[in-house]
Structure formats: structure tokens, C-alpha cells
Amino acid sequence: MRIVVARVEDFAPGERKIVTRGRRSIGVFRVGDRFYALNNHCPHLGGPLCQGRTQAWVRSSTPGSYQREDEQALIACPWHGWEYDLATGQSFLGPGEPPARSYEVSIEPGDDCAGEPAPGERRPGPFVAETFDVTVERFGSGDHVVVDTTPRSTRTVPSQGESQ
């Protein structure tokens, strides 16, 4: 399933968007010019992971010395503070616990970005059932429903919102 989240210019660096399709909730994060997507479900105890605060990696080469990276690359679950890497979903708490599910994110030209239809939106599929003209004609004692099975010379499929 492909989900169209937003136009790039409408998605500011540092911003996140949480999208829902069916029963799936996914947080999409823009960190600088990179995008990450995580399942909005903390594997620890099921909290709304993508609503947590983001933070930078902090690295230490010796005791008392640390370096903080510029980009917000971790997210902490708002329920218990478990931290996950935005890129991989990996947590460094609870060894043996599964990572948060991460998803691929791509940037595509607008014309190629059909994505999934919005709830309630319908798009034509690849198959078209054969249909026949039906008329009501008068024969002898009354009106009769008549189906014409003569092949239609030009088959047109009505677009969304049009009736035949």
C-alpha cells in the first residue's frame, strides 16, 4: 500500500505528520532533507510512539565528554520514554525486544503519485464488466423490459460521478 503524505514544500524540516490508513497509523518525520516513517505503536507497551519527543544522538568518546549531533534522529515513546532510532526503529532499551516497524519513504513527482484513494474515494480498476442496453418497450398488452445484446460499437466507461 502506498500512502501519499504531503507535498515536500508543505512538509517543513523538523515537522512530523501522522497518517492513518485503515487500522494502520504511521508517523512520518522530516529531519533536514531526509524523511523517516515509523509505525505509531511502541513495541514496548503499545504507546503512541510517534507522538513522543524527538532528540539528537549523544555520543561520548570518554567519560565527561560528549558530542550532540545536530539532527533529531531519535524518538522517545510518550508513555515510558523508550527511545527508537527514526531510521531503523531500533531501540537500545530492553535487549531482545523487537524494534518499532520502520517504512521506506520516497519522494516522487506529483504526476506519478496516485497513492491510495482517500476514504470514500473510488477509482476505476483494471476490469470492466460487460453491460447491455436495457429499454422498456410496449408490445401488445403492456410494457416489457428488453435487453439488447448486440455488441456496442464504442465502449465508454463513465468517469467518477457520471452515470451511463
Task: Write the CATH number for 56.
Answer: 2.102.10.10
More confident residue, 40 or 113: 40
Candidates 77, 23, 13, 74; CA nearest to 50 is: 77
Q: CA 50: distance to chain centroid?
A: 14
pLDDT for residue 48 is more than 90? yes
**160 found inside a domain:** no
- Which residue range forms the structural domain that includes residue 38? 2-97+118-148
The Cα 122–Cα 34 span in angstroms is 32
Confidence of residue 164 (pLDDT cuts 50, 70, 90): very low
**155 found inside a domain:** no
**105 found inside a domain:** no
Answer yes or no: are the C-beta atoms of 50 and 72 closer than 8 Å: no
* Domain count for the chain: 1
Beta bridge partners of 68: 58
Answer yes or no: are the C-beta atoms of 5 and 28 closer than 8 Å: yes
Answer yes or no: are the C-beta atoms of 29 and 36 closer than 8 Å: yes
Confidence of residue 15 (pLDDT cuts 50, 70, 90): very high
Mean pLDDT of the chain: 84
Answer yes or no: are the C-beta atoms of 37 and 29 closer than 8 Å: yes
pLDDT for residue 68 is more than 90? no
Confidence of residue 115 (pLDDT cuts 50, 70, 90): low
More confident residue, 19 or 152: 19
Note the pLDDT of residue 122. Answer: 75
pLDDT for residue 141 is more than 90? no
**21 found inside a domain:** yes
Written as nine digits, the cell of 110 is 506529483
Angle at 58 between CA 12 and CA 87, to 5 degrees: 50
Q: Residue count of the chain, please give it.
A: 164
Calculate Rg over the CA atoms of the chain.
27
Confidence of residue 163 (pLDDT cuts 50, 70, 90): very low
